[in-house]
Structure 1
Amino acid sequence: MIYVGMAIVFLIMIVTGVLSYMQSKGLASFYVAARSGRWYLIAGSLFASGVSGATFLGVMAWFYELGAGTMWIPAGIAWSYFVLCFLIGPKLRRFGQLTISDYLAERFDSPLLRPVFSIIVSVWMVILLGSLYVQGGLLFSQMFGMSYTQSTFITAAFVVIFTVFGGMVIILKTDFIGTFIIIGSLVITMPYLIQASDGWGAVTTSIQLESPNYFTSTGELTALMAFSWFFIWLFGYLGNPGYLTRFYSAVNEREIIKAGIAIAVIYLPALTLFFISAIYARSLFPSIEDPELLWIAYTMEYAPPIVIGMAMAGMFMAVMTSATSWLLAGASSIGRDIYQKIIHRNVSEERMLVVTKLLVLVLAALSVPIGIARPAYIMEMMNLAYLIAGSAGGLVILLSMFYRNMTKEAAWAGIISGAFIAIGASILQNIGIWPASIDPMIPTVITAFLIILIVSRLTKPNHKMLSVYDRMNVRESSASSSSRNSSISVE
């Protein structure tokens, strides 16, 4: 019955994938779904990619250990969704290109930004993919008794197949279906967990006796660490092309605003249910050896077999929806911004599509060793990736949208200083020089922000930089925006 439950979910996803593959025609479909994304597809894709298997495993583990302080992570993500859908997304749709490097290169009249930012993107995408392979590896090894290494390879194979065959079309469609499966996986397991517990009052009282700070606003964290997590995930999402390129695929700006309203309705309530589940599970598994297996442990222990199968398949789809997004974003960026713009300027659309799919295989292969090695807990790996993304990209992208006089030199200074300080501080923290109680995020963002402002004051933007800014900030009708961007050039 476990296999029956899993088969039901996988069959739904395979059918969705095949239908999406049949609709995927050419580079426009592969990169940005031919700009056909409706609000519900974009909202579902943002939600499914944002939840991922990390929420079922990593976030649940931190809820279990650190309490309410972990909610600063979803709070930061919720704010990032607001900024993305209401402030940044519509402007990117007006700009109407294919990659975030396209935007940065034109906004600051600096062609060299394309390959440099593409390389940075690839580095953090490989780290993120490695953390996702860890999630799939843990799931399959627990479910089927395989070795962890075998499970990791199987996860990578599934991700590559789905990404190569459908691109953005299959990602939007499967993410939308995956949203219902993810929420359903959580909801159908909660009643069995609650039934096995002693009741809300008894559970919370016992936890408070053991950990008095568990239900406070920062939980077991310091206030500085809680705020750092908030900003890591806020700026990290703003700097993640896996989310930003969704907006290129929208039919028009209005669909992005609708998606923002939809994601606001479902995201935080869903994460609150995860927290409640972790509270009940902590009373049932007070000394679990690996907290990242908490959700798997209580589902396997208390749910009926068919529910176990559906729930585990749902968690795997959460892994898939994120991994395909990150993989496509990284491969598209390298393919367009390095291969097409530097190596082979006159490449045909057919060859460009083949090259991008080969890059999918390369990035997937590079991230597999990270997944197998499992160098840290899932959330620690993702914190590092989003620290780099937020410091080197998120802040620069956000300021570029609202600071008209930001210059090319300031953009370069922000990206370089953000990446250098974030990576350097993380290394120093690991070897014990940087204090463990101070996360690098806040000092990194403050320093990079000041550097951008100072350099912008010392330099001047040229006419092209200002014209790109003005074009993105003059609201146009959805019809004219859609018409202008309906055809996509790969040159």
Structure 2
Amino acid sequence: MSGTDTASLAVFALVATLVSVVAWRHTRATTVDFFLAGRRTGMITNAGAICGDYLSAASFLGVAGAVYASGLDGIWYATGFAAGFVPVLLFVAAPLRRLGTVSLPDFLAVRFDSAQVRVAAVVSVELVILSYLVPQAVGSGLTWELLVGQGIAGLSPYATGIVVSTVAVGGIVVIGGMRGTTWNQALQFGFLLAVVVWLSALLWAGGFSYPAAVEQASAEPLQAVVGDRLVGVTNQLSGESARFGAPGARYGPIGQAALLVTLVLGTAGLPHVMNRYFTAVTGRAARATTVWVLGLAGSFYALAVLLGTAARVMVAGRAEEPWLAELTVDGVLRVPEHALLVLGRLLAGTPGLAVVSAAAFAAMVSTIGGLLLAAAASFGHDVVARIWRPSASPRVAVVAGRGAVLVVSVLAAVVAISVEPERLVATFPSVIATMVTWAFALAGSALTPAVLLGIWWRDATARGAVAGIWTGAIIAVGALVVGLVIGPDPSDGLSAVLLAPAMIAAPISAVTIVVVSRLDTGPSVRPRVWTRMHGTAADRQTERMAQITLRGRR
């Protein structure tokens, strides 16, 4: 590792630690302060933090890697990731914040007035968190492997990167809570955006043209690395050789639809992203924040697509360089997720690699931090303070949440170390983006239907929500397991749906909620809960005053 690399990582670690310590000094041992930053996060800060939370390794390394590996078909990831905030803006953000809860399971439990709903939601949330954490840790291992190339304490460079990232971020979250995580995420997103803008500016200053690059990359049939050789990629729409600039390099029509539906539906069920809306000052601020998120995330993904295309052309043109020859087979990268890292070195030498690597770590640290905080909230608040020990003090809930952070960090690191990215590349051309899609599938199948129907259908009942959450989770997990066992077949629509199952699991979950709720004779939503989600400001103030009066009479 060069002096530049060391300096970049040292500065990055120092800033993150200082921010967390400052946040710790301003954080009280209360659930609202530790888990929600006191509900005083400003609109712009929250938008930056949401982007930092959302733009994970799958976004920073994965989207560029998917475009590098699959050309036009890789853009579906960027489209789905960005479009996922449209339903959040239209249907979720404001009502979610107005109810005034602490976490996604807490929101569902209060809406349906049910401990069983809370349990089902907590289990689903923890599954989503773990399945989302693992690819982030994999990305940190790949980045460390390329940047540092050395292990610690007998570990491989890949395993060392995983351990360092999970332990470091776990410590940051334990110290700083939501306040420290918010500031870190907002700063890290600003750094991410600056890096992709900087790389794009270097390209344009060198005369880069996106249309010309697509044309150049499409001149020859698309090839991928399998083992130590190149194999041709078949177009799933025409059966001919795939081209970089033509659709069908990876997905057929059903596969494209399944991927987009999974990504769009999954966003509203991601606990680490939705929990950020509880930190907004008001429901209106939550909705306005989402508008900012759409603009910022859309700009980021557009530039990521451009950079992935540039990497495809530039790597092939300079593959004879010794350092690059080790990472390629006949001009094609062995691991597509290296595309952005390699592009940084091609454009700006070793300092460029160091800067892009620091940005990659920032992306992973932001998302890992958000995921660990979501795990802390669901365990500390929902499990300990609401299920196991309802009489527990806020301090006990915070301590339990901090303990959950450490446990989940270790579990994610163990699972990620067992993953072998280079062996998976032959099966999944963009490993990190593909693995994150599985987390979106779980979230979109188990949680999103309950969230949407809970917000917009008054007659949805607790039994219906429990049945829908479990049904969606079981179908999604079962489909993913079957899909992984039989292996992906791009030409088979069923295989594509099994690996992005929200297209079938989410509708079944929603229908289950509706049918069971219709058959259920139990109560539906409480009037005051509905008023808090959908009433005018005057209605909500009247309801709050009524509750204060009732408590005073007691």
CA pair 108-479 structure 1, distance change in 2 beyond 3 A: closer
- For residue 225 of structure 1, what is the amino acid of its counterpart? G
Cα 1:418–1:404 shift into 2, 3 Å? same
Question: What residue number does 1:49 align with?
Answer: 53
User: Is 1:90 aligned to residue 99 of structure 2?
Assistant: no
Mapping for residues 2-81 of structure 1, pairs under 5 Å: 2-27=5-30, 28-81=32-85
Q: Which moved more, 1:92-101 or 1:6-15?
A: 6-15
The DSSP-based 3-state class of the residue aligned with 2:16 is helix
State the Cα RMSD in Å: 2.6
Question: In the alignment, is the contact (CA less than 8 A) between 1:10 and 1:313 conserved in 2?
Answer: no
8 Å contact from structure 2 (residues 82, 301) kept in 1? no
SS at match of 1:285: helix
- Residue 405 (structure 1) aligned with residue 405 (structure 2): no
The one-letter code matched in structure 2 to 1:260 is T
Q: Deviations over 1:443-470 (max 9, x none)?
A: 2222222222222332345155454234
What percent identity do the matched residue pairs reach? 22
- Structure 1 contact 13–177 (Cα < 8 Å) conserved: no
1:190 deviates by: 3.0
| Aligned match of 2:478 | 424
Alpha-carbon distance in 2 for matches of 1:446, 1:226: 18
Q: Which residue of structure 2 lines up, in the alignment, with residue 171 of structure 1? A: 181
1:207 is aligned to 2:217: yes
Question: Which moves more between the two structures, 225-234 or 36-45?
Answer: 225-234
Asked if 1 retains the 8 angstrom alpha-carbon contact of 2:51 and 2:189, the reply is yes
Tell me which residue corresponds to 1:276: 306
Aligned to 1:226: 256
- TM-score, normalisation: structure 1: 0.91
Cα deviation 1:334-385 (Å, max 9, x = unaligned): 1222222232222222222212111111111111111111265212221111
- What is the CA distance between 1:195 and its match in structure 2? 6.3
Greater shift, 263-272 or 446-455, is seen at: 446-455
Structure with greater proportional helix content = 1
Residue identity opposite 1:20 in structure 2: A
What is the aligned partner in structure 1 of residue 396 from structure 2? 351
Change (3 A) 1:352 1:444: closer
**d(CA) in 2 for partners of 1:467, 1:12:** 44
Q: Which residue of 2 aligns with 1:339?
A: 384
CA contact (8 A) 2:141 2:159 kept: yes
Q: CA deviation at 1:164?
A: 0.3
Pairs aligned (count): 484
Amino acid at match of 2:16: M
Matched residue, 2:502: 441
Q: Which moved more, 1:275-284 or 1:248-257?
A: 248-257
Aligned to 1:318: 363
Question: Relative to 1, partners in 2 of residues 1:427 and 1:16: Cα closer, same or farther, differing over 3 Å?
Answer: same
Structure 1 302/240 Cα, relative in aligned 2: closer, same or farther at 3 Å? same
Task: Return 5+ residue gaps in structure 2 as ranges.
Answer: 151-156, 223-241, 317-331, 425-430, 549-554
Structure 1, 213-222 or 406-415: larger mean CA deviation: 213-222
Q: Deviation of residue 242 (structure 1)? A: 0.8
Describe the SS at the equivalent of 2:251.
Answer: coil
Q: Secondary structure at the match of 2:55?
A: helix
Q: For residue 368 of structure 1, what is the aligned residue in structure 2?
A: 413
- Higher RCO structure (Cα 8 Å, ≥6 apart): 1
Q: Distance in 2 between matches of 1:159 and 1:451?
A: 39
| Partner SS state of residue 440, structure 2 | helix
TM-score where L is the length of structure 2: 0.81
3-state SS of 1:246 partner: helix
CA shift, 1:319, in A, is 0.6
1:26 is paired with a residue whose SS is coil
- Map of 2:551 onto structure 1: none
Tell me if 1:156 matches 2:143: no
* Offset, 1:76: 2.8
3-state DSSP of counterpart to 1:265: helix
Summarize the Cα distance change of 1:124–1:251 in structure 2 as closer, same or farther, 3 Å threshold.
Answer: same
Partner of 2:118: 114
Tell whether the 8 Å contact from 1:196 to 1:302 is kept in structure 2 after alignment.
no
> How far apart in 1 are the matches of 2:178 and 2:458?
31
Change (3 A) 1:218 1:401: farther
- 1:139 matched to 2:200? The reply is no
Q: In 2, Cα distance between the equivalents of 1:55 and 1:90?
A: 26
Task: Provide closer, same or farther for how the CA distance between residues 97 and 196 of structure 1 changes in structure 2, counting only shifts above 3 A.
Answer: same
CA distance in 1, matches of 2:247, 2:94: 34
User: Counterparts of 2:360 and 2:391 in 1: how far apart (Å)?
Assistant: 42
C-alpha separation between the residues in 1 aligned to 2:281 and 2:87? 19
